[in-house]
Every structure is written in structure tokens, then in C-alpha cells.
Structure 1
């Protein structure tokens, strides 16, 4: 079966450790587009943190789509129309903000417009995220968050501290939300129905693409859901060892243009 849709993660996958797109990856994406394949950037980042990459890859034309916030938002890139948008409620925010305080870790909430934190001493990983995704940071008390349309919440802290906190999260939070670790210092929280996998299923259905004709390339736990639903799951050589257990193929590392190798080896052949 020819591949008709390729979902590609960003960090640790599409871009190098220097946050760059190699010429090989750019060329392979253009080859895939020319062959009629939908190349869909699928990331935990907000849309503001993806726009410059979409432009560099020429994935901004009519018929191009992007999946952001770990699947909470699916958009037509050219029109900016939302095909899927699943948000968290104010009550969700309050419950998660209280949990973060109880666990002693920094937390921030992300909307389409910016990153909001109730931590008076703003965490360094909140600053890191803001720089990474090109979004402003706002200090707001919990009371000031009632009117915000929150798409994702992140617990962010030193890896050891974050792991200790994760071990103490009550089971009810796993029942009510999707929690995925995307970096050693990031735990991302979205609505229970949200995942990269569900977003890909929805988009493929809208485009009339059979899931048997789909492929995904990723490296970390927040990619698991999409790797589990596509017919051709590909994990980066630098990827999480646990993810490699569910991969059909292992491609080269992100610093060695692994996305280009995967597209040409298993997407175009």
C-alpha cells in the first residue's frame, strides 16, 4: 500500500539538536509533497511554535494541515480553520494548578495567545518553552484565568523533581486527563480525548485516507498514540527505547536526517 499521509513530530525528530531542518529533510518533504503525500507536522507545540517551520518546509499551501498541542488542535494551515479544538475548562485548570502546588512543581497553561503561569517565581523551563515556541509569558493568579481558553497545561521542572511528582499523581487525574511526558522536564496535560493518534484518525477520515496508508515518525512518549494507530510506525534512532518496541522501523537520528531517510525508504517506496 502506498503511503498517503505522514505525521512527523518536531523536537527530537524533524529538527536537529541545534533546532535546524537539514537540507536532506527539506528535500525529502518536497519529494513527498510532489508525490501527493500529505506531510503533517504533529507536535505538542502550540501553533506559534510551528509556523516558522511550516514556512521553511513550504507546508503553508491550501491542502496543508498541522496538528498541535499533542492533538488538541488540528488546523488547515492556509485558512487557519480549526478542524479539531479540544480545550480544558477553568475547573480543570484549578484542579491541576492545585495539584502542581501540592506536588511542589512549576506549572503553566497555554492558550493560542500565550503561556500563563501562577508561579510568582517563573520556572526556568517556562522561560525555555516560551523561547522555544515563540510565545509571550504572562503571570496571572488562578482567579485571573477564568476567561482563558486553555488548550494544554504543563508541569515543568528539574527531571528528578518532576519524576518524583509524577509518582505521586493520584489515579483520578489519569482517569480524567491525558498525561504524557514529552521531555525529561515536561509533563503535558490535555483533555482525556486528546492524543496525536486521535487527531491523525480524525484528519485521515476527513481527507478520505485509509489508516492502512498512514505513517508516523516520532521519538518520545507523547508520540506513542500516533505510532500505535498508523500502519507504518517509525521511531528515531535517538528515540525512547520503550517506543522502539512498537516501531515497525527504526530510522536514523534527528542529527543524521532520520526523517528524510524514513520518508524515502518507507514513504516513497
Structure 2
């Protein structure tokens, strides 16, 4: 019997109109009623995840959310932080210098804000602020305090240019950080021990839930680690090939209530 299901948001929980359909919500509530722990697992910041948690009524005692692609795990009822793994100010300086060499716009976060050191603010930084309803600030690197903790940094640009940026990242940097492409225009950079898979594993162990009792549902490259970790990894119909390759189960797309179908088949036995 499955005891925990971790669900990605964009391209998975949300359809292309950024909606959680009635069918998906009802399936999640039915899973909760069976005692299954439902965990939203997203690259979004906690502020951007909050409306989703509330819509799905995942704010009871002993319920959790994973944000920043695994950099932050916390209790949704008490806001207690279970795990927080951040980049340092020195990491930020190094990544900023790399962004200048690669001619890549960038932005970065604390728990409640997004910042950019680029005076000409990129449209994808504005989009990031908009979709998460999170304040956006222009700050030079020199204006950032030395004790600043950063859940993630992002290089952002038009897909074709971002692909060129990725191909020019030195191998030494690839080993120094975790890099995940969460959208055609978003490259996320995290502490090397951070991933959705590691966060789900850590939470499952805290809750004394075995790996084989975990389902993870996702569609993008940043979901690969958790789909690989899960006892049953689920790929959306719209998932990238790498996720489909490692998944044990493939469901319908995010526009066809794929999350609902997976829950019905694997948890509700419909």
C-alpha cells in the first residue's frame, strides 16, 4: 500500500491554464481520506506554493510541502522547517561572475523575494515574479549581505540562447552545483546535495515511510530524481523522454487529468 504521493506542480498538477481541475482535486482529497500523505513538490518558492496548498487543503497537522526543487521542506500547519539547504553569498558571487562570462541574465531568491543583479530586468524574471506573486527587487551583488542564504539561483533566457549557455558551462561548475532545467527558459542552480528526490527521501524517512510506499509524479527534468527514487515513479503523458524512461507508470497528460488517473489506478484501485 502506498503511504505518500509527491506531486510536481507545473506541467503535472496544473493544466496548461495553470488550473487544478475538479477531477484532480477530488482524487487528491480521496487519497487523503485513505490516509495517504499528499505532498506538493515544486521548484516554486514557498510563497508561490501557498495558494496551491490552501486550494488542496494540505494544511492539517503533520502535512508538508517541498519547495525550491528540494532546498526547503517544511510543515504546512506549523511552518516548522524540516530541512533547508541553501547556497552561500560566495556561491552567488561565483555564479554571477559566470553569468557575465556566459552572457546570461540571472535572478535568485530568499524565502519571500526574488532579486536580480541585472539593471535591464529580463522578461523571464518578471514572469517568475508574476506566477509566484512574489516581490521582485533589483540589487547589485555588492548590496547583498554576506550572511544571505539563497535557496536557488536561476539563469534565464530565450530557449535557444539558454541552450547555448548550458553547453558552455565549464565542467568544474557542473560538479560544484546541482543544475536542473525546469522549463525551456529556466535553468535552476542549487546546492549540490539538493534535489526533489533527496527531499522526498528525507521526508519519507522522517515519517518512517519506506521507499516502496512512495509515489512521485512529474513531467520535467527537475522531477527526474524523485521519479527515480519512488517505489512507483509516474510520468505524465506530457513528460520529457528522460522522465518517461525511468518511470514505472505513465499516466495521461496534465490537460487530461493525468494526476487524477494515476491516483485512481495506484491508490484508489478504480
TM-score, with normalisation over the residues of structure 2?
Answer: 0.98
Q: Which residue of 2 is the match for residue 79 of structure 1?
A: 78
Distance 2:229 2:210 in 1: 11
Structure 2 residue runs without a partner (length 5+): none
Q: Which residue of 2 is the match for residue 33 of structure 1?
A: 32
Deviation at 1:267, TM superposition (A): 2.4
Q: Which residue of 2 is the match for residue 254 of structure 1?
A: 254
Distance 1:60 1:172 in 2: 41
8 A contact 2:235–2:251 mirrored in 1 = yes
Distance 2:49 2:112 in 1: 14
Deviation at 1:61, TM superposition (A): 1.0
8 A contact 1:29–1:57 mirrored in 2 = yes
- SS of structure 1 residue aligned to 2:73: strand
8 A contact 1:117–1:138 mirrored in 2 = yes
Q: Which residue of 2 is the match for residue 178 of structure 1?
A: 178
Q: Which residue of 2 is the match for residue 92 of structure 1?
A: 91
8 A contact 1:180–1:187 mirrored in 2 = yes
- SS of structure 1 residue aligned to 2:23: helix
Once the two structures are superposed, what CA deviation does each residue of 1:126-168 show, in whole Å capped at 9, x if it has no partner? Answer: 0000011110110000101134321100001000000000000
Distance 2:198 2:267 in 1: 21
Q: Which residue of 1 is the match for residue 8 of structure 2?
A: 9
8 A contact 1:215–1:267 mirrored in 2 = no
8 A contact 2:46–2:112 mirrored in 1 = no
- SS of structure 2 residue aligned to 1:50: helix
More moved, 226-235 vs 146-155:
146-155
Q: Which residue of 2 is the match for residue 148 of structure 1?
A: 148
Are 1:237 and 2:241 matched, yes or no?
Answer: no
Tell me the matched-pair count.
268
8 A contact 1:3–1:268 mirrored in 2 = no
8 A contact 1:237–1:250 mirrored in 2 = yes
Deviation at 1:119, TM superposition (A): 0.3
Q: What aligned pairs does 1:83-162 form with structure 2 within 5 A after superposition? A: 83-146=82-145, 147-162=147-162
Deviation at 1:64, TM superposition (A): 1.0
Distance 2:185 2:144 in 1: 24
Deviation at 1:262, TM superposition (A): 0.5
Distance 1:267 1:217 in 2: 13
Distance 2:78 2:91 in 1: 30
Deviation at 1:89, TM superposition (A): 0.5
Q: What aligned pairs does 1:215-234 form with structure 2 within 5 A after superposition? A: 215-234=215-234
Alpha-carbon RMSD across the aligned residues, in angstroms, is 0.7
Deviation at 1:101, TM superposition (A): 1.1
Deviation at 1:10, TM superposition (A): 0.1
Once the two structures are superposed, what CA deviation does each residue of 1:150-207 show, in whole Å capped at 9, x if it has no partner? Answer: 1100001000000000000011111111000000000000100000011011100110
Distance 2:41 2:246 in 1: 18
8 A contact 2:63–2:75 mirrored in 1 = yes
Once the two structures are superposed, what CA deviation does each residue of 1:218-260 show, in whole Å capped at 9, x if it has no partner? Answer: 0000000101111100010011022111111110111111000
